[in-house]
Structure 1
Amino acid sequence: MGADKATRAVLKDLAAEPALTRGSDDIDVVRATYDRVFSAWTAGAAVPTREDWIEIASEDHRTNALIVEPVQNSAVGSILFIHGGGWSLGSALCYAPLCRTIAAETGMRVIVPDFPQAPEHPFPAAYELLVTVTGWAQTQFEAPLFLAGDSAGGTLVAAISSDKRVAKAIRGQALFYPVLDLRPSARYRSRSRFGSGKYFLSEDGILGAASWYCGDANDPDDPRISPILNPKLDQTPPTFILLPDLDPLKDEGEKYAALLKNSGVAVEVFRARNTVHGCVSFSGRIPQGYEGIQRAGSFLSGFALD
């Protein structure tokens, strides 16, 4: 098994971004590089969308969010999209192109909030703010509510969808190559097989980002941090999971999907052949990434009318 031609071209260009692939002592440089790359290689929206920036505020939390909606018809639902970036990188603006594509493919409103990031703000800062944003979305819009997220955003989605404060409002979730087990002791064959850095995401990168996110005071065995340890998976909403063949996170995604199915949860797994972590954000160059967006959209849309 190896990367296909389109993926090899992306990997070659990623290798020319050392701040992103090998790291830097200056996190601002890494963040700027991530935003530039992850906003540039996403497929364009097939139909026009409109967007607005809003402020979401509660007694305890305040943040900005981008709202993207299809122009041609009224939104049939809302998707709260929680972006990836190892809980330390990425922004709502960086993910605007992807969320335009999701809105166009699903006919739904997409809400993408900014949130506090590690290492400056370890768990539970992002988690608690995003629970607040989920509750806000539930009351702000009458249409059904879904969650979606990529990578570290998928971690947050999988945890929040089981939070008793908001779980009943969530109709379904879409996880694009999520991180599901943040324990330093976690052992998965795909991490050792594909985690050298050859295929973009490295095992060292996963562990380093997880350490920043957990901070010094939090236990990675907490199911809010490692959703694969959730003892009540039967309460999880219908779930779509995209797993690239060459992703170090593939095996924990497969395990999570099996646990959900065994708990009676409706699950669809899309295995993106011969490609890598990040393919949804690279959907303008990697066809499997675009197909994954379409399949996720079809899955969630099927539950919008229930």
Structure 2
Amino acid sequence: MTATPRPVPSPDAVAFLHDPTRPDTSWFGQSLESLRKRHAEEFVWARGEPAPVAGIEQVDAAGVPARLYRPSGAENVTLVWFHGGGWVIGDVDCHDELCRALAADSGCAVLSVEYRRAPEHRYPAAIDDSWTATAWAHEHFDRIAVGGDSAGGNLAAAVAHRARDRGLPLELQLLVYPVTDARADSAPYRAFETHYTGFAGIDGFGTDSHDVIRDIWEQYVPDPARRAERDASPLRAATFAGLAPAFVVLAEHDILRGEGEEYAARLRAAGVPVEVAHYPGQIHGFYPMVGRMADARDAVARSAGALHAALRQRRGLVRGAVRVVGAVTDPRPAGNTP
């Protein structure tokens, strides 16, 4: 039997993980207040030169606070963005540099949503806020897209399903390594624990990743029975037909990679246009780190291109088509089915 090759991180990922000046953002072993503070400090540490935009304003999106970025000042199209952080940490300040870059590169406005976080506000608070802000954007802009990373990708996918069912048109869903299924003890997750032992020289990398997944679901949706609902686990939706086209960004060495691939496959099977950008060697969380990682800058530029085509040129992905960029081929288990 051929031995499974050890996963190889990109040089940028290694440098990021081992930089001694990077704040300690370990999920366990510190208070929630400290975790949120350290997470915010990490984004300040990773910050580069902010992309220029014409205006930034705080808005009340039907009761949901949000920050609106306009690259020229008069955009009539927008991306509604939901930040990552396991529904527990992260905020619009953390994603400020990212949203500036997306707005400047795409020529579209970006509405960054400050949805309510767990554990103070459990499910479905975050998805309800995300939907409310999206509906507000629909009333104030001619065309809209939704997007988010990780837990924010989960919210974007869930909003896309609601939008289809309620007749709210979306031009694109930008899904960055999205959480799509609450089955936190699936076989692929358990395999990730084993395969990623000692990844990038970090003891317990795989186990820690799995433990975080379990904990965020406990924080966000403490009732296991509700985790199967489509708003929590959009991968379990009965049908994907009629959803907005998708641009999906995935990282090779991410415990969420499999379910992101499966989600893209479900979209493709339903005839939804999909473009998948795989980033070999990369880790979960790389996308907003535009000040530290070349792959992040590339992924944001590609995302902005997809947004520009969908929102400003009104010619997005071709229906029924799928394009895969930079596909990874490592043989570790993918998918998130038991």
TM-score > 0.5 by shorter chain: yes
1:239 aligned residue: 246
CA gap 1:163/1:245 in 2 versus in 1, 3 angstroms: same
2:39 aligned residue: 34
Measured in 2, the distance between the counterparts of 1:249 and 1:9 equals 22
Measured in 2, the distance between the counterparts of 1:209 and 1:147 equals 22
**Corresponding residue pairs, total:** 299
Alignment of 1:282-297 (within 5 A): 282-297=289-304
1:202 aligned residue: 209
1:78 aligned residue: 78
Tell me if 1:188 matches 2:160: no
Shift of 1:248: 0.9
Q: 1:212 aligns with which of 198, 216, 219?
A: 219
1:272 aligned residue: 279
Measured in 1, the distance between the counterparts of 2:207 and 2:106 equals 29
What is the TM-score when the length of structure 2 is the normalising length? 0.82
Tell me if 1:171 matches 2:171: yes
2:327 aligned residue: none
Shift of 1:31: 0.6
Whether the 8 Å contact between 1:42 and 1:282 is mirrored in structure 2 is yes
SS of aligned partner of 1:234: coil
1:6 aligned residue: 12
CA gap 1:276/1:13 in 2 versus in 1, 3 angstroms: same
CA gap 1:176/1:264 in 2 versus in 1, 3 angstroms: same
Q: Report sequence identity in percent.
A: 27
TM-superposition CA deviations, 1:164-189 (whole Å, max 9, x none): 46553211111111111112343326
Alignment of 1:146-161 (within 5 A): 146-161=145-160
CA gap 1:91/1:169 in 2 versus in 1, 3 angstroms: same
CA gap 1:26/1:106 in 2 versus in 1, 3 angstroms: same
Whether the 8 Å contact between 2:61 and 2:137 is mirrored in structure 1 is no
What is the TM-score when the length of structure 1 is the normalising length? 0.90
TM-superposition CA deviations, 1:100-146 (whole Å, max 9, x none): 0110110110001211111111111111121111110000122x100
* Amino acid aligned to 1:66: R
How large is the RMSD of aligned CA atoms in angstroms? 2.3
Note the residue ranges of structure 1 that are not aligned, 5 or more in a row. none
2:59 aligned residue: 54
CA gap 1:167/1:153 in 2 versus in 1, 3 angstroms: farther
1:221 aligned residue: 228
Shift of 1:283: 2.0
Measured in 2, the distance between the counterparts of 1:137 and 1:166 equals 15
Whether the 8 Å contact between 1:201 and 1:248 is mirrored in structure 2 is no
Measured in 1, the distance between the counterparts of 2:166 and 2:285 equals 28
Task: Select between 23-32 and 250-259 the one with higher mean Cα deviation.
Answer: 23-32
* Amino acid aligned to 1:279: F
Shift of 1:285: 1.4
Measured in 2, the distance between the counterparts of 1:117 and 1:87 equals 5
Measured in 2, the distance between the counterparts of 1:210 and 1:150 equals 16
